[in-house]
Amino acid sequence: MSNYLPVVGITMGDAAGVGPEVVVKTLSRRSLYDECRPLVIGDARRLELANRLVKGDVKVRSIADASQARYEPGTIDCIDLKLIPADLPFGQISPVAGDAAFRCIERAAALAQAGEIDAICTAPLNKEALHAGGHKYPGHTEMLAHLTGVDEVSMMLVAPRLRVIHVTTHIGILDAIRKIEPGLVQRTIERGHATLVKAGIAHPRIGVCGINPHAGENGLFGYGEEEEKIIPAVKLLQERGMDVTGPLPADTLFFRAGRGDFDLVVAMYHDQGHGPVKVLGLEAGVNVTVGLDVIRTSVDHGTAFDIAGKGIADDGSMVEAMRQAIELATRRR
Sequence ranges of the domains in the chain: 1-153+291-333, 161-279
Q: Which CATH number is 161-279 given?
A: 3.40.718.10
Cis bond upstream, residue 247 (ω within 30): yes
**Mean pLDDT over the full length of the chain:** 94
Q: Do domains 1-153+291-333 and 161-279 have the same CATH topology?
A: yes
How far from the centroid of its chain's Cα atoms is residue 225's Cα?
29
| pLDDT per position as a tens digit, 316-330 | 999 999 999 999 999
Taking residues 75-104, report their average pLDDT: 98
Closest alpha carbon to 10 in 29, 28, 23, 25 = 23
161: pLDDT confidence band, cut at 50, 70 and 90? confident
Residues 43/104, Cβ–Cβ less than 8 Å: no
The fold adopted by the segment(s) 1-153+291-333 is Isopropylmalate Dehydrogenase (3.40.718)
* Distances 4 to 20, 75, 307, 320, 331 between C-alpha atoms, Å: 27, 20, 37, 20, 11
Lowest mean per-residue pLDDT among 185-189, 250-254, 281-285, 303-307: 281-285
Strands (E), the chain: 7-11, 37-42, 59-63, 75-80, 119-122, 154-159, 162-166, 205-209, 243-248, 264-267, 286-290, 296-299
| pLDDT per position as a tens digit, 28-77 | 999 999 999 999 999 999 999 999 999 999 999 999 999 999 999 999 99
pLDDT at residue 20 above 80? yes
Please, which residues bridge with residue 37 across strands?
7
